[in-house]
Structure 1
Amino acid sequence: MESTRQLKIAKLLQKEMATILQQLAKDQFPGTLLSVSKVRVSPDLSVAKIYVSIFPVAKTKETFDFLQLNKVKLRGALGHTVGSQLRVVPDLMIYVDDSLEYEENIDRLLRGEGESPIK
């Protein structure tokens, strides 16, 4: 279970990363929507796992690869915005949140539009 401090820092990081990623999407990937769906912070506050939703799904690989290559720059930008509130900015681990795609696939299967996994 996460502590109150972890939850507060996760909420702060989610808000600020969302702002940074929106600006990045506007500049680097026009027509792409980047949103931070969830942030988890380690108990020692040294690592933040950031789950990013990317729409349209066709641009997921290209966008995710770009985020991975520029993780240090993203951490630096995050440090500029939260530097006055956090002593140490956590290392970023970025993951693609594909829960929406998974949910849509289940809905499609339930409607009978896809290949049934039950034969």
Structure 2
Amino acid sequence: MESKRQQKVARQLQKDLSEIFQREVPHLFNGAFITVTSVRISPDLSVARVYLSFLATKNKDMLLESIREKGKMIRQHLGERVRHQLRIVPELGFYIDDTVEYADKMDKLFHGLDIPPAPAEDDDDE
């Protein structure tokens, strides 16, 4: 379970990274719309796992690899934003957030199930 400090820092990082991807460096990723869906941060605030969702892109893995290659530059932009709030700018790890695809898959599985109706219970007291 995350502490309140971890949660606050994670929310701030999510907000700042979203603005970086959408306003400062969108030209680096060929117009792909990148959404920061969540951020998980270590207890010592030194490592952040950033979960991303992509729109307007054909190859998500190539885009993720491009983001990872430009990770130092993204971290530098982040450092400029949080330098007065954090002592250490966390190391960033980028991951694809596949919860939407997983939810769609589970939804399709549930709709494909053939569940027979429950047998009617008799209310006779014998």
Task: Give CA deviations for 1:12-58 in whole Å, capped at 9, x if unaligned.
Answer: 0000001111133355322x221111101101111011111112463
RMSD of aligned residue pairs (Cα, Å):
1.8
Q: For 1:18-29, what aligned pairs fall within 5 Å after superposition?
A: 18-23=18-23, 24-26=25-27, 28-29=29-30
Alignment TM-score, normalising by the size of structure 1: 0.84
Return the letter of the residue paired with 1:14: Q
The match for 2:3 is: 3
Cα shift readout 1:84-109 (whole Å, capped 9, x = no counterpart): 11111010011110111121222334
Q: Is the 8 A contact 2:50 2:95 kept in 1?
A: yes
Counterpart of 1:108 in structure 2: which amino acid?
Answer: K
Change (3 A) 1:102 1:25: farther
Uncovered stretches (5+) of structure 1, i.e. residues with no partner: none
Task: Quote the residue 1:44 is aligned against.
Answer: 44
| Higher mean C-alpha displacement, 20-29 vs 84-93 | 20-29
Structure 2 CA distance for aligned equivalents of residues 74 and 94 of structure 1: 11
Task: Give every structure 1 segment of 4 or more consecutive aligned residues whose post-TM-superposition deviation is greater than 6 Å.
Answer: none
Taking only the aligned residue pairs, the percentage that are identical comes to 38
2:17 aligned residue: 17
Residues 10/63 of structure 1: CA separation in 2 closer, same or farther (3 Å cut): same
| Other structure's SS at 2:85 match | coil
Contact 2:41/2:49, CA 8 A, preserved across alignment: yes
Secondary structure of 2:89's aligned partner:
coil
2:88 paired with 1:102: no
2:50 is the counterpart of 1:67: no
Letter in 2 for 1:29: N
Whole-Å Cα distance in 2 between the matches of residues 25 and 109 of structure 1?
Answer: 36
C-alpha separation in 2, matches of 1:71 and 1:106:
33
Q: Any gaps of 5 or more consecutive residues in structure 2?
A: 114-126
TM-score for both structures, normalised by structure 2: 0.79
Q: Which has the larger radius of gyration?
A: 2
